[in-house]
Structure 1
């Protein structure tokens, strides 16, 4: 058994509450991998369970039936761990992913493989395909495309306002034939400015600005709309406490005091609430002691902190949960 399958056996051996508590400490990708393993594992012998979970082998009544009825168990565990709103799409991907076809099959492919599949297609086709992917996966695919194509594709995603069902079904049929499957799509509502902004939120620092600048040269109002919906300084309030504490260890008090001058009160409370009482007092004193500062200086400090946050997210140190929650 693989490590993920072994972990799935352990979680399936726990109660829903305990399993949910474990999943709370994992990232979205880890939860997805474990959920898929939990959905597929079955026929596990007592001997195998004993090797994986020796201390609990006596409490396992029917280890051979671990996979039976796993779907409802997975729904309950993920809903407790992530909440119904966040878990909803993930559950659909996990449970539906075992029998997917057409466009939905792409959600289970590596980004580079998807980029190779669509590389020679018209940018409009690429845009439709990417609009069906989750934003983080779409961003990874976008990174694999040439710089010349990126802005064109994202602009088309931002201006998508639904396509005729017959055209969408035709595209899906093409994809389905490549994966030996077929299905009909009932919804043709894809894309939009918010989807484009969400995808850019997952791009590497610098790449997003390049794409936005290219779009600005074509359609300045649209570029401004996308930028307005992207992750900004005030969205730091959406990060969990652990992520905020990690960020604070990398940001100087001087820079933080300057950046908070132009921040929402909720952001200030979020920051100070994750500092020691003495550190928070020093930060507030520093802010009060400063004289008038230019708005450009405040914005520059905020951008530097956001750049650090984005770098941490790119390196997997923290997760920008706001990307998946605040803009849906």
Structure 2
């Protein structure tokens, strides 16, 4: 839940732009004013919806200055609040469900008034991964429309040969016809931004599983035990979504060997001190006989170790495995081997 200090507070009408003032008026008039929305163009609905979703708390003084005739009504409530949920409910009162969802997905996506503003707030690697599958000429148009500093990072994240082809197209590019530009914007909106908004919506159990993954073992067990007493279903769902050290047995032999090359020997030895026999044997079987012998000797030389240190080493290996999976260097599959989980 957002803290009060994180919520925007508007105490001066000069802080509001045109679309924000329209949002204040619509919020003040309430959800019964559907006919006003029906008179707007789709792009106007998007702009006002974006303003409404980011409105925050508006003081009664500001409301009075924006819409004087309703000052009496506003004085009883003091403030009005604009939020994503309220915006969605209002849009749903007069627009078809699919259109509401399309608008809300765009609102949940990167901030920005225009499509090119929004692209400027998308991580360069994410944007490059999408653009590398498009025609170089299309990519050249997109790159030419975003700010130069962001454009440079996106080009740097593209495959070198493809990036060079895009640069050549940009050097020869003539003014783009408005119809073509609008078509590219629409494609970006429907194919890229909407998918980006969907993937950015994280399930609450997934979020908690990610947090629990960073607990030490004792804290994790304490929280899960307490949660089981209050809500067993949620505790089981969080546990199923967590990726822990023993889940490294889901790696294929190539993935294990890749992980072994990256993790330093001290961390590996310490982590395996607390590993199950099955997982320990799996790691040893993917080492050379000599390397496995040295590792066993190093582990024996460690003697008794603190549980806190073992947990830390195991978490380091889990985080390393996730990083490698995110880069596509290893694959983490489920126990049945039918589905693939990429973190």
Q: Do these two structures clear the TM 0.5 threshold for a shared fold by scoring above it?
A: no
Question: Whose radius of gyration is greater, 1 or 2?
Answer: 2
TM-score, length-scaled by structure 1: 0.36
TM-score by length of 2: 0.35
> Comparing both chains, which one has the higher relative contact order based on Cα–Cα distances under 8 Å and sequence gaps of 6 or more?
1
The structure with more strand, counted as a fraction of residues: 2
